[in-house]
Structure formats: C-alpha cells, structure tokens
Amino acid sequence: MIRRAQAAEDFAFCADVCSVVHPDNPVTGDLFAARSTGAFLLHEAGGYALVDTSSIPGTAFAMVRVRPEARGAGIGAAVFEAAAAEARTLGLGRMYGRVAGGDDESLGFVERRGFRETGRDLTVMLEVRAADGEVADGIVELGDEHLRGAYEVAAECLPEMALPQVAAISPYDEWIRREGELSPVAFVALDGAEVVGYARLYTFSDKRLENGLTAVRLSHRRRGLAIALKRAQIAWAAEHGYTEILTSTVAGNDAMRGVNERLGYRLFSEEIVVEGPVP
C-alpha cells in the first residue's frame, strides 16, 4: 500500500496532498520531482512522507502529510513508520520536521511518537513590484570563480541557521549539486576578490520564488550586506516577472528577521519545529 514515488503521477499525487494541507502555499508535481533528492513514500489512500538527509548531523528531515478527510484511518501512522524505516536505512537515529502552527491534531500525533518542539520557523512573504530592488556595487551574480568562496561563507554561517539545532554543511561537491537544484540565480558580496556574502533564490512556482540561505561572514556584518544581497534578489525577481518571494527564518534569528522586516516582508505562516528519535 505504501510505495516510493517514481513516476510523474506519483509526484503529482504527493503535491496534491501537500497543496490540500497547505492551500496558501500550493506546489506542483514537477517541483517535487525536481527536488526528489530524498524518498517520497506515498500511501494511495491519501498521504505521503518525504524523508531526506538534513544539515543537522545524524538527523533526517521528515515530512508526513495526510489529506484532512483521510485522517483517522491509520494512514499517518503507516507513512510515519515507512519514514522511520527509511531513516534507519540512511543510518540516522533522529528525525525532525515541521507542524503548522495551530495544528494541534498533528502536533499531538508526533508528540505521541516521542517528538518534542525545539523551535519555531517563521515564513514571511514579500510582494514584488516592477522595478523593485537594486544591485549595489560589490554585489554580483554568482560565477564559477565564486563557488569555493560562497561555500566557505555558507560553512561559517550555516550552524546558526537552525537554532537551537546546530546545522553543518555537506561536503563541497554535494553542496554544489544541491544548491543548484531549482535555483535560477545566486548573488555574492565581494570585498575585493574575496567572497564575504552569499544569497540564493529558488524557484517555487511561475510567480513565486523562495529565498535560500542568506549569509554574511562575521567579519563583514553590520555593513548592510545582507540587505544589499536581498535587494539584488528582489531586483532579479522583478526583472524576470516574479511577484512574490517567500523566506523562512528561525524565530530566534532576530538579525535576519529585522532585515526581512526592513525590506517589507510580512508574516505568512508559522511552523513548529519538532524532533525525536527514530523508533
């Protein structure tokens, strides 16, 4: 009854479930297929799980979603067990995921399985208008010559992106592969020839983009580089006909939340981050 998604219709099925559960943030099967670095495990009665390695050492990222009208029939339990089995296959002893704020039913589901809240992720959205943003001096599109420097910036900054969990960057070749998936553009901030800041955009739909990691070296903070990087992204989005940009930050990342607020991002949704042992 549970099988791994492989065909286009399998990913479309999972995307439909996700879009019903999150109607304000619909996704497509093509998007899921393109991001299928992990395993999509679908239950044909109306649910699925996504399991992938994460930036948290020893921990899998797991998403369990069930259509509201199909809940209470054991579908969630079945795909959760399949997700746990997949995590064990990956040699990982813990899983983390997100539950929508206010969804007490789903929160109770994971708490009964040993998961506990570790933090909150806040998703904010910017409405992009024509001619918004600008590319300041020292901000350029990422080129091959910047890749190693961008990686070093990301490696320095990534541990603070998932607080209180501590993230760690993947090996360089894997990072290059994953960072480039569904990403039309990235920008770097330069101090001379040195890369001191890095920010990437991901495609979410034909009108919506998603901010990836925005990182600035500790030595170059409080100079406006994070805002400059994001303004360059906004300019690129406006030029290419996008009308929305989403971004998520941990609730405790006050500095980046302040950057987003100054740029006009407004609260879109709140999610509870949960973590627990692989049973």
Q: Could you tell me if residue 278 is inside a domain?
A: no
255-262 long-range contacts, CB within 8 A, separation 24+: 255/221, 255/226, 256/214, 256/226, 257/122, 259/214, 259/226, 259/227, 259/230, 260/124, 260/126, 260/230, 262/227
Q: Count how many domains the chain has.
A: 2
Q: Could you tell me if residue 116 is inside a domain?
A: no
Q: Could you tell me if residue 113 is inside a domain?
A: no
> What are the tokens at 186?
């990235």
Identify whether residues 87 and 137 lie together within a single domain: no
225 Cβ contact list (under 8 Å, min separation 6): 189, 196, 197, 216
Q: Domain with 55 in it: what CATH number?
A: 3.40.630.30
Identify whether residues 133 and 177 lie together within a single domain: yes
Identify whether residues 23 and 135 lie together within a single domain: no
Query: pLDDT tens across 30-83, in order?
Result: 888 887 678 999 999 999 999 998 888 899 999 999 999 999 999 999 999 999
State the average pLDDT over residues 134-160.
95
Q: How far apart are CA 8 and CA 233, in angstroms?
A: 31
Identify whether residues 70 and 155 lie together within a single domain: no
Structural domain including 244 reads 126-270
Quick one: pLDDT band at residue 178, thresholds 50, 70, 90?
confident
Sheet of strand 116-127: strand arrangement: 2-4, 39-43, 47-53, 59-66, 94-100, 266-277, 116-127, 244-250, 208-216, 194-203, 185-191, 139-141
Identify whether residues 136 and 180 lie together within a single domain: yes
Identify whether residues 216 and 262 lie together within a single domain: yes
Query: pLDDT tens across 185-207, in order?
Result: 999 999 999 999 999 999 988 89
Signed CA dihedral, 11, 13, 14, 20: sign only: positive
Q: How far apart are CA 218 and CA 26, in angstroms?
A: 36
Identify whether residues 258 and 134 lie together within a single domain: yes
Dihedral of the alpha carbons of 26, 32, 37, 39, in degrees to the nearest 10 = 90
Identify whether residues 130 and 80 lie together within a single domain: no
Query: pLDDT tens across 5-37, in order?
Result: 999 999 999 999 999 999 988 899 988 888 767
Higher pLDDT pick, 123 / 206: 123
DSSP secondary structure code for residue 67 in this structure: -
Q: Could you tell me if residue 214 is inside a domain?
A: yes
Quick one: pLDDT band at residue 255, thresholds 50, 70, 90?
confident
